[in-house]
């Protein structure tokens, strides 16, 4: 285990700062191990442009934990569309173990990282190492965060949601209207939730409806 994140691992302090419940010690240890792995791999694979420990914790960990806790009850399966370094899919799998998570990542090196993270953290998540839109199954929830061509990805992700399932977008308030249009008219959207530490980034939860509803 790397010493740097152990010294700098103040995730619970940041959760408290954001007004969010802290993690129990066993879960905190698993998030610390996840951080160590990110820092080690990020030296040779561009997992995230945010490289400072504090930035990773604030931007990636806290936001993803917030998303995990905001997801409605009753979700059995979830797709992290374009998972990258595992945000928010791995924190969701850690915080919501009742959810069967699939992490879709088409870039080979990032998919290899996700496999190692899942193994290290003892998760039952599935890695899909191809483009998410080629999946032949649908999910109770599809979540997208910082995906290339976010509009196209949102359109594709909407098609992977089961009836009465959820489409979850981690985006900005200024981009939400465009993404809402890309998702189509068959989603009813909850009030936007502001992500911790940001004035502009939001969490949008849309539920798939029948046109007759």
Predicted confidence at residue 3, as pLDDT, reads 42
Find, among 93, 94, 86, the residue nearest to 45 by Cα. Answer: 86
- Could you tell me if residue 184 is left (phi over 0), alpha (psi between -120 and 50 degrees) or otherwise beta? left
Query: pLDDT tens digit string along 15-43?
Result: 999 999 999 999 999 999 999 999 999 98
**What domains appear along the chain, each with residue ranges and CATH number?**
3-208 (3.40.50.150)
Q: Which residue has the tokens 């249009």?
A: 181
Predicted confidence at residue 185, as pLDDT, reads 93
pTM over 0.85: yes
Distance CA 115, CA 143 (A): 19
> CB of 158 within 8 A of CB of 138?
no
What string of DSSP letters covers 83-102? -TTTTTHHHHHHH-TTSEEE
Query: pLDDT tens digit string along 139-160?
Result: 999 999 989 899 999 999 999 9
Query: pLDDT tens digit string along 39-94?
Result: 999 988 889 888 899 999 999 999 999 999 999 999 999 999 999 999 999 999 99
Give Cα 104 to chain centroid, integer Å.
11
Query: pLDDT tens digit string along 177-189?
Result: 999 999 999 999 9
Predicted confidence at residue 186, as pLDDT, reads 95
Distance CA 179, CA 96 (A): 26
3-state secondary structure of 79: strand
Residues facing 145 on adjacent strands: 170
Mean pLDDT across the chain: 93
């Amino acid at each position: 285990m790397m010493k740097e994140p152990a010294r700098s691992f103040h995730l619970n302090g940041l959760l408290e700062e954001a007004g969010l419940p802290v993690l129990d010690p066993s879960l905190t240890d698993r998030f610390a191990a996840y951080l160590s792995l990110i820092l080690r791999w990020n030296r040779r694979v561009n997992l995230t442009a945010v490289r400072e420990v504090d930035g990773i914790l604030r931007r990636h960990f806290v936001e993803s934990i917030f998303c995990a806790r905001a997801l409605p009850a009753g979700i059995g399966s979830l797709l992290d569309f374009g998972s990258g370094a595992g945000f928010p899919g791995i924190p969701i799998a850690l915080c919501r173990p009742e959810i069967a998570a699939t992490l879709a990542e088409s870039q080979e090196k990032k998919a290899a990282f996700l496999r190692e993270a899942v193994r290290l953290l003892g998760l039952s998540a599935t890695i899909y190492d191809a483009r998410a839109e080629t999946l032949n199954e649908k999910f109770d929830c599809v979540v997208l965060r910082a995906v290339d061509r976010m509009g196209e990805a949102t359109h594709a992700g909407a098609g992977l949601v089961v009836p009465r399932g959820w489409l979850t977008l981690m985006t900005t308030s200024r981009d939400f209207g465009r993404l809402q249009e890309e998702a189509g008219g068959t989603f009813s959207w909850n009030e936007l939730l502001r992500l911790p530490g940001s004035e502009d980034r939001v969490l949008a939860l849309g539920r798939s409806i029948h046109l007759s509803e």
